[in-house]
């Protein structure tokens, strides 16, 4: 009876530890050709789009945080009303790309 409780306790602790390790691990590309995108953009309230889908404000994807992306070609756009849209094609191949850009105001060359 005592051994059974010890084994059950050990099993529960092992499962908790395994789930905590996966929950608190840093965000990294998971496998194959996958990777991601970080942004360093001025103004930092611009919005980032990948393949036409909004990912949110660029300020959310700098430092250790990035947009997970599948391997292959992708179109990245950075948009903010009153500014010229930045558009760039990137190739993800087991890497994390950082886009650094200052958006230009519309009507300014």
Q: Could you tell me where the beta strands, DSSP code E, fall in 51-95? A: 53-57, 67-69, 72-79, 86-92
Is the model's pTM score more than 0.85? no
Q: What is the DSSP letter of 83?
A: B
Q: What is the pLDDT of residues 2-38, one digit of tens each?
A: 555 544 454 444 444 444 433 333 344 445 689 999 9
Q: Any idea where the domains of the chain sit in the sequence?
A: 35-102
Hunting for tokens 């909004």 — which residue is that?
Answer: 54
CA distance 38 to 88: 13
Q: What is the pLDDT of residues 80-90, one digit of tens each?
A: 999 999 999 99
Fold (topology level) of 35-102: Immunoglobulin-like (2.60.40)
| Residue 47, strand partner residues | 57, 79
CA distance 53 to 79: 12
User: Is it the case that residue 58 has pLDDT exceeding 60?
Assistant: yes
- Angle, CA 99 vertex, CA 94 and CA 103 arms, to 5°: 160
CA distances from 13 to 2, 21, 48, 105 (A): 17, 12, 41, 56
Q: What is the pLDDT of residue 99?
A: 93
Structure tokens at 100: 């650094």
């Amino acid at each position: 009876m005592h051994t059974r409780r010890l084994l059950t306790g050990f099993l529960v602790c092992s499962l908790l530890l395994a789930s905590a390790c996966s929950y608190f691990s840093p965000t990294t590309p998971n496998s194959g050709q996958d990777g991601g995108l970080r942004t360093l953009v001025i103004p930092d309230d611009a919005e980032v789009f990948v393949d036409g889908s909004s990912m949110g404000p660029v300020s959310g994807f700098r430092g250790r945080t990035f947009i997970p992306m599948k391997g292959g070609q992708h179109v990245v756009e950075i948009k903010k009303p009153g500014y010229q849209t930045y558009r760039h094609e990137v190739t993800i191949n087991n890497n994390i790309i950082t886009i650094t850009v200052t958006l230009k105001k519309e009507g300014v060359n």
